[in-house]
Structure 1
Amino acid sequence: MTTFSSGTQQPATAQSASPGSERTAHLCAEAALFMRDHVLSLVSHDLRSPLNAIHSWAYVLERKLDAGDATAQRAITGIRGGVEQQVKLLESLVDATRAETKSLALDRAPFALAAMIDATLDAVRTPFAQARAVTVTSGSALTGETLDGDAERLAQALWLMLTFAVESSARETGVALESTLEGTLWQATVTCTPAPAALDDPALPHLLEAFARRQAQEPREAGRIAWILALCKRVAEAHGGKFEQHDETLVLRIPLAAA
């Protein structure tokens, strides 16, 4: 097991692992869990707007229709009843399911930032990136900085960023991680040259779910991320930071100290 040291403890986090290892399986499962919650959140949000519009227009139509037209009145009642049933399903199934993992509890402690980054890089390089003939490089100005946060969760987020970049890259290309400090923020920027076909290439090894890889190839609305990267977003926000996905870069910004 690979560990990294901190000022107060030595939490065991990202360790070198084969694609089929227990550690890698755990990281993939965590990514899938957060993706599920992210999709449920989008479903709940995106369905409510049209349902509210249908409900409102049903009342408008009801006032315009002949009160003596029994067929038309049954139709309006059916429309409103259908909308109310859908809203109840969202509340009882979607929102209730999300409630279990909506709040992300953090196990905060100071830890050595550079050591966590190195261990996570090793976990992605060997053997996954090697098997895909993708070179993962790192540039960093960090020395002995510590970050007050959940080392395991941040390692998961960084692992997922790097793994997604490797999955998105064609053979014999490169993925670069740049770690910088901007005032009191740690910024991790992962850069690659996306090759959409690489996400579905059956000749290449894959770690992320096929469903997630297919969705990641679809056009994204402004400000939205690929579903599989939901863990990165949730971890960043739980630390008071931010996660962004651009065409060729993934950016994670985390405060060095708790707010």
Structure 2
Amino acid sequence: MTTPSTGTPGAEPASSGFAVSERTAHLRAETALFMRDHVLSLVSHDLRGPLNAIHSWAYVLERKLDANDPNSQRAVSGIRSGVDQQVKLLETLVDATRAETRMLALNYAPFPLHPLIDETVAEVRSGLARARGVEVAVDSRLATEQLNGDRERLAAALWVMLTFAVEASSEGATVTLAAHADATAWHATVTYAANGAALENPGLPHVLEAFARKQAGEPREAKRIAWVLALCKRVAEAHGGSFEQIDATGSDAARLALRVPLSAAAPQ
């Protein structure tokens, strides 16, 4: 993985005049794509429940109404027709848009974990972290461990985790990446002191989309993640692993936790 330096020819401007490398621009675009699909998935899931309930209650209502009353029957028919139209929209617009990226293609190959961490941390440090005055510390107990998986996808997931933590940190703060491997899996945990003002302040350098940062500061339902972290979740689960976003509670800092099996294998 090459790491172009910030401000090189071809770099793209982010917010507040901050220039990002070509690789960072690519990762930012990938993050936005996965976020789009995640939001569409939520829309599809969250709308189908109420629509199914309306459809069922329309049948109940139909049996209660006078079958000889044309106005009542027309009203029930209109309800069912409206529900069918909404379901059709979900199928043709939402589901069709997600069709090409629903199944995440992975290029499996064994690779050492330590260099992946070094290169990804260097990318974040030299770009956004330096511009924001945020330190990125590494607590790694990795030596020669290898993982069989898609190196580029996993590097992207780690980049999003670190970048989000930096975005949510105040100047002078430290974001810590702890990494280790046990007998079966690689564990990477990013710990940071979340600061909502830093996350949304338009006067600070940013890489992630403004609306994504705003949404990340809003309350979430249990076990749901901020939209902007969708890439992390998709990549982890595609490898048979998991991803969690844990908010700060009491004296405990906020955490992003990635777990990926060392022997992840392509599905048959």
Q: Scaled by the length of structure 2, what TM-score is found?
A: 0.90
CA deviation string 1:132-179 (max 9, x = no partner): 111110011111111111110000000000000000111111100000
Instruction: Identify the residue that residue 48 of structure 2 maps to in structure 1.
Output: 48
- Runs of at least 4 residues of structure 1 off by over 6 A? none
Pairwise mapping of residues 101-120 of structure 1 onto structure 2 (< 5 A)? 101-120=101-120
CA deviation string 1:2-45 (max 9, x = no partner): xxxxxxxxxx3565545422111100000000000000101001
Pairwise mapping of residues 16-55 of structure 1 onto structure 2 (< 5 A)? 16-17=5-6, 19-55=19-55
Q: Distance in 2 between matches of 1:249 and 1:134?
A: 16
Q: Distance in 2 between matches of 1:17 and 1:62?
A: 65
Number of positions where the alignment pairs a residue of Structure 1 with one of Structure 2:
248
Pairwise mapping of residues 129-208 of structure 1 onto structure 2 (< 5 A)? 129-208=129-208
- The percent identity for this pair of structures is 67
Instruction: Identify the residue that residue 124 of structure 2 maps to in structure 1.
Output: 124
Instruction: Identify the residue that residue 74 of structure 1 maps to in structure 2.
Output: 74
Q: Distance in 1 between matches of 2:150 and 2:176?
A: 24
Pairwise mapping of residues 76-95 of structure 1 onto structure 2 (< 5 A)? 76-95=76-95
- Taking a change above 3 Å as real, the CA distance of residues 256 and 145 of structure 1, as seen in their structure-2 partners, is same
Q: Distance in 1 between matches of 2:101 and 2:113?
A: 27
How big is the shift at 1:110? 1.1
| SS of aligned partner of 1:139 | strand
Q: What code does the residue aligned with 1:200 have?
A: E
Q: Distance in 2 between matches of 1:255 and 1:163?
A: 23
Q: Distance in 1 between matches of 2:204 and 2:222?
A: 30
Q: Distance in 2 between matches of 1:96 and 1:127?
A: 36
Q: Scaled by the length of structure 1, what TM-score is found?
A: 0.93
How big is the shift at 1:183? 2.1
Q: Distance in 1 between matches of 2:164 and 2:2?
A: 19
Q: What's the Cα RMSD here?
A: 1.2
Q: What code does the residue aligned with 1:48 have?
A: R
How big is the shift at 1:73? 1.2
Contact kept? 2:3, 2:119, Cα under 8 Å: yes
Instruction: Identify the residue that residue 252 of structure 1 maps to in structure 2.
Output: 258
